[in-house]
Amino acid sequence: MPEIKVNNLSHTFGKNTPAALTVLEGIDLSFPSGSFTSIVGTSGCGKSTLLKMMAGLFEPSDGEMTLDGDAIKGTDRRRGMVFQQDAVFPWMTVAKNVSYGPRLRGASRREQKEIEAKWIEMVGLKGFEDRWPRELSGGMRKRVDIGRVYANDPDVLLMDEPFGALDAQTKERMQSDLLKTWGRSKKTIIFVTHDIEEAIFLSDKVVVMSARPGRISHIEEITLPRPRDNEMRLTDEFLQIKRKLWGMLEH
Ligand SMILES: Nc1ncnc2c1ncn2[C@@H]1O[C@H](COP(=O)(O)OP(=O)(O)O)[C@@H](O)[C@H]1O
Ligand SMILES: [Mg+2]
């Protein structure tokens, strides 16, 4: 089973220069196959840096990361990344955006159509196949973005504050829909956010990071039952976890 592991990872930007800045220190984490983990921490604690390293966009100065026991080096479609800013191509329709990766790898027309149908349905964009990104709301563009990453069939989805720019209601809908999609596909998701409620609602496990240099200060197992619905956010159990984690974040 694919499992991602981070062992004693540290990172210093500009190591051995006067401007050296240590942003991560002694990070040990494991993300079991099919699990949903969120990483929370105040702005600047190194969340994006950690996620980008797991995507293989650059290497840590110390420590190692493995997927299924293999060292992570460079980008690979087994690890798909969704950023806060959507990466949708404005010159492609919704359908063409979703099948972009498979098309690039030489998927046949029929395969492309199958992939488009499956993921457009899954992310809730049925009926919008032939629309252009400029005709979509921010939430819908995010759905295209997520569909496009899923269409590459990665083992791990790395999401960096993907809903950070959306209004509160759209955000809640996107969270519920993401859980449905995840429930059906059973990919491993690593989700970075500074929104504690979002992290609790989505996750099996919430990792709390300290301010720079980012270290793991706490790991909370979230045992709230699934499937989860919005009303759960108002239960005593939920609010108790929220209060606890809120107190741990450095404000
Ligand atoms: N390429 C870079 N070179 C130098 N410093 C960087 C670089 N990227 C990020 N940083 C610094 O590293 C720290 C952590 O950044 P980041 O990982 O983006 O934090 P977060 O996502 O938690 O807000 C910040 O102080 C940021 O300014
Ligand atoms: Mg960030």
CA dihedral (102, 79, 202, 65) in degrees, to 10, reads: 170
Name the one residue in this structure whose structure tokens are 């395969």: 111
Q: Decide if pLDDT at 190 tops 70.
A: yes
Q: What is the pLDDT of residues 130-160, one digit of tens each?
A: 999 999 999 999 999 999 999 999 999 999 9
Residues 19-23 have a mean pLDDT of: 95
Residues 222-244 have a mean pLDDT of: 97
Q: Decide if pLDDT at 1 tops 80.
A: no
Q: What is the pLDDT of residues 88-105, one digit of tens each?
A: 999 999 999 999 999 999
192 Cα nearest atom in ligand 1 = 21
Cβ count within 10 A of residue 251: 6
Residues 22-33 have a mean pLDDT of: 96
Nearest CA to ligand 1 atom 16: 46
Question: What percentage of the chain carries pLDDT values higher than 70?
Answer: 99
Nearest CA to ligand 1 atom 3: 13
How far is ligand 2, taken at its centre, from the CA of residue 43, in Å? 7
Q: Which of 36, 39, 84, 11 is nearest to 210 (CA)?
A: 39
Q: Decide if pLDDT at 185 tops 70.
A: yes
Assign 125 a pLDDT band (cuts: 50, 70, 90): very high
How far is ligand 1, taken at its centre, from the CA of residue 74, in Å? 19
Domain positions in the chain = 4-78+156-248, 88-153
pLDDT at 2: 64
Residues 66-74 have a mean pLDDT of: 92
161 Cα nearest atom in ligand 1 = 21
How far is ligand 2, taken at its centre, from the CA of residue 157, in Å? 16
Which phi and psi (to 5°) does residue 13 adopt?
A: -75, 140
Q: What is the pLDDT of residues 158-182, one digit of tens each?
A: 999 999 989 999 999 999 999 999 9
Nearest CA to ligand 1 atom 5: 13
Average pLDDT, the chain: 94
Superfamily of domain 4-78+156-248: P-loop containing nucleotide triphosphate hydrolases (3.40.50.300)
Whether ligand 1 lies within 6 angstroms of the CB of 13 is answered as yes
How far is ligand 1, taken at its centre, from the CA of residue 85, in Å? 16
Q: Decide if pLDDT at 191 tops 70.
A: yes
Assign 212 a pLDDT band (cuts: 50, 70, 90): confident
d(CA 147, CA 143): 6
pLDDT at 109: 97
Q: Decide if pLDDT at 250 tops 80.
A: no
pLDDT at 138: 92
The angle at the Cα of 43, spanning 198 to 21, to the nearest 5 degrees, equals 140
Whether ligand 1 lies within 6 angstroms of the CB of 193 is answered as no
Whether ligand 1 lies within 6 angstroms of the CB of 49 is answered as yes
Question: What percentage of the chain carries pLDDT values higher than 90?
Answer: 90
Higher pLDDT, 194 or 95: 95
The angle at the Cα of 60, spanning 57 to 62, to the nearest 5 degrees, equals 165
- Report the predicted TM-score, pTM, of the whole model to 2 decimal places: 0.95
